[in-house]
Structure 1
Amino acid sequence: KKLLFLDIQKKVRTRHGEEGLLGLAFHPEYKKNGLFFVNYTASHPRRTVVSRFKRKKENPLQADPNSEVVILEFRQPWGNHNGGCLAFGKDGMLYIGTGDGGSGGDPLNNGQRLNTLLGKILRIDINKRGGKKNYAIPRDNPFVNKKGARGEIWAYGLRNPWRFYIPSHGKFIWVADVGQNRIEEVSLVRKGGNYGWNLREGSLLFRKKKIPEGVHLEPPLWEYDHSLGNSITGGVVCHDPSLPALKGAYLCADFYSGRIWALWIQKKKSSKIKLKKVRVIHKSEINISSFGIDNRGRIFLLDYYNGRILALKPR
C-alpha cells in the first residue's frame, strides 16, 4: 500500500531530464525530532535547494509540507549535472553532492574552483546556525581558512556525483561520478581531495589539458569506458544477510547498460586501499537510477522509467 508522505510538486523544477526531487536524508534523530532533508531543483532563478521538513505530529506517516525551512540554495547555470545526493555521516554532519553546473565539459571550470559550491561534496552542520545561515560550517572542514574558498567544501573536482555512500566507519565516502564521453568512475573520497574534473575524466586527461604544477589529483578506485555503459549510478555497501556472497562489496550500476557490479577492496598495512576484485553480478533490463537499504539491510533498486522499487535477491 502506497502512502503519500510529502508532495512538493509545485516547488520543484522538472523541465530538464536531470532536474527534480533528487535527494532525501532523515536526521539521525528522526524518531525523536521528525526532521528530514530534501534536495530539489527550483525555478526563478534556476537553482538547487536543500530544505528541512518535519513530519506531522498528528500523523507520523505524513510530512507537513508547510514546515519547510530552506537550509542552503545556490544557482544552477544549466539544467543538467545537479548532483543531488544527501547523506548524514557518523559525525552527524550533512553531506551534499553537487554537479559542475551542467552544459558539457564544465565550461565555467566549476569542478576545480574553490569559490563555488558546484562540482563538490559539501559538509555542513545542520544542528547549528552560522550568522544568517540556517547551518554552520564545521571548523574542521578543509578549506575553512583558505582565502576565497567556500568553507562548506569537503572535496572537489567532480562532474556529476550521482549517488554516494558513507560507510559506518566514516573514513571515506564511496562516490560514483558520471563521465563526459569516455569514462565512468568510482572514487573513495576523503577530506580535501581533488578528484580531477575537468582536468581529467577518470584517469584520462580531458581534452589534452595540462595539469598545473603542484596540483595533486586523486585517482579513481575503479573506472570503466563507454563500451560497458554511459552513466554510472552509485550504490551501497552490501550487508544484506540474504546475500552472503556479496558481504562487504560496494554495489553500483550503469543506467543505460543495466550492468550491476560488485567491488571488493583490500586494506594494506600502509593504510592504502586497493581494489581487490570486480564482478558483474547481474545484467538487468531496467534503467537503475538509485539504490536503497532498509532497516534490515535489504537492498533495493529504483527502476527509473517504470517507477518501480525492486529488491535485490539471491538467484
Structure 2
Amino acid sequence: MKKIALISVVTFLLLLSCSDDNGTTTNSDDVDPGDTTFTLQNAFPNLSFSRPVDFQSPGDSSSRVFVVEQGGIIRVFNNDESEESSDVFLDISSQINTTANEQGLLGLAFHPNFESNGYFYVNYTPSTTLSVTSRFQVSSSNPALADPNSELVLLEIPQPFTNHNGGQLAFGPDGFLYIASGDGGSGGDPDNNAQDRSNLLGAILRIDVDVTSNGLNYSIPANNPFLGQNNIREEIFAYGFRNPWRMSFDTQTGNLWSGDVGQDEREEINLVTSGGNYGWRLFEGTFCFSGDCDNDGLVPPVFEYEHNGNDQSITGGHVYRGSLTPSLVGNYIYADFIDGRIWGLNAFSSNPEDTLLINSNLNISSFGVDAQNELFICAFDGSIYRLVEN
C-alpha cells in the first residue's frame, strides 16, 4: 500500500508549537515503534460481544469499562481480564433500526461530571432516515445501571440514505460535546451535503449540554466558528467530511483527531480545528473528486493512504498515552476495517510516517481507552483486544 504524508506547513506548526482552540499546547514527545513487533491479546477472553462499535471508560472512581453493541445494548464490566460476565447497562434495542449495515447504536460519551450527575450520551438511528443524539441518566434506584426511561433527545439529524451516519461522541477538554456526522450517504455525496453548512451533515458538531437556550435542549458555545452567520448551522465546528466514523481527543495535547472514510481512492486522517473545511466532496483526501480542483482554503489531511487491495475503510483511533506499550507513546494508532491492518502514525514531525504494527485479519470497528489511557480494540469477531509488545 502506498502511504502519503500530507501535513501542511500550517498544520505542522500547529502540531509542534501552537496552542489549539482549547488552549492546550502540543509537543513532539513522540516515540518511534521502530522494529518492535506486536501481537494481539484478547483483553477479556471470557467475554463476547455482538458487533462492538465503541469502548469507553466513565471517568469516575470505578474500574468499570463499557462496550457498545451496534444492535442497541451497552454492556458494563470490570476492567479485569479474568472477568467472566458483563451486565446490561442500557438496552434500547427496541428503539434501534438495524436493517442497514451502518446504522444502529453508534456512539457513547460520559459527561465529565458523570460521577456526580449520572449523565451519559448516545448516538443512534431509530429509523433509516434519522440520527439522534440523546442524554440518559443512571437509575435512581441502582446507579450501577442506566434508566432507559430517562432519555432526553438533544439533536435529530435527518438522514437521506442509510450509510455514512458518523456517530462518534466525545467530550473535549473544553467540556463541550462533539458529534461526528457523516455526509448523509449514498456515493459521492449527491446532494453536496458536506459543503452545505445549512445542514448538519458531513461535519463535526460542538454543543454545550450544560446550558439550554432558544428552545433547544443545549446551547451553542460562544466561540463556535459560525455563530451568528446567516444560513449556517451554528452547531458546526468543522465541515467537509465524508464519514468521520471515529474521532478522539489526544489526552495530552487536546488535539482532535479523526479518520475519514474515503470513496474510491483515498482514506484520510485529519487534525480537526475550528472552522476548517476538510474538502469533501471537492476532494477525497488530496485527490480531486469534483469541481474545479481548487484547494484554496481547504485543510489537507495530516496523512492519507490509497486504496490498494483490501485497504479501503479507515477506522480512526487514538494517540497512545498509556504506559504498557512504551514504543507507541505519541503515535496515532488506527486501522483499516476491511484489511485488518493496524498502524502507528508519528505525525509529530516534519515528515509524518506510519509504521505497520500488525495485520490482525479482523474487521476492526473502533478503538477506545480506559482510565489509564491504555488502548483497546473492538473487532467484529466479538472480542476486545490489546496490542502487546513482543
- Relative to the length of structure 1, the TM-score reads 0.94
Partner of 2:59: none
Q: Select 2:387's aligned residue among 305, 309, 312.
A: 312
Aligned positions of 1:248-287 closer than 5 A? 248-266=330-348, 274-287=350-363
Q: Select 2:301's aligned residue among 208, 217, 220.
A: 220
Alignment partners' CA distance in 2, 1:191 and 1:286: 34
Q: Does 1:244 align with 2:326?
A: yes
Partner of 2:376: 300
| RMSD (Å) for aligned C-alpha atoms | 1.4
Residue type at the aligned position of 2:326 = P
Alignment partners' CA distance in 1, 2:243 and 2:375: 23
Deviations 1:275-315 (A, max 9, x none): 433101111011000001011222111112x2221222222
Q: Structure 1 residue 123: deviation in Å?
A: 0.3
Q: Does 1:56 align with 2:139?
A: yes
Q: Does 1:12 align with 2:96?
A: yes
Residue type at the aligned position of 1:204 = F
Alignment partners' CA distance in 2, 1:29 and 1:50: 18
Partner of 1:142: 225
Report SS of the residue matched to 1:108.
Answer: coil
Over 6 Å off, 4+ runs: none
Q: Does 1:78 align with 2:164?
A: no
Deviations 1:32-54 (A, max 9, x none): 111000000112x7201000001
- Structure 1: gaps of 5 or more residues: 268-273
- Structure with the bigger RCO (C-alpha within 8 Å, sep 6+) is 2
Residue type at the aligned position of 1:220 = P
Q: Select 2:239's aligned residue among 134, 152, 156.
A: 156
Does the 8 A contact of 2:285 with 2:300 survive in 1?
yes
Does the 8 A contact of 2:173 with 2:254 survive in 1?
no
How many residue pairs match? The answer is: 305
Report SS of the residue matched to 1:263.
Answer: strand
Aligned positions of 1:84-103 closer than 5 A? 84-103=167-186
Residue type at the aligned position of 1:52 = R
- Structure 2: gaps of 5 or more residues: 1-84
Partner of 1:37: 121
Alignment partners' CA distance in 1, 2:232 and 2:339: 38
Q: Select 2:266's aligned residue among 165, 169, 183.
A: 183
Aligned residues with identical type, % of pairs: 48
Q: Cα gap change, 1:275/1:136 in structure 2, threshold over 3 Å: closer, same or farther?
A: farther
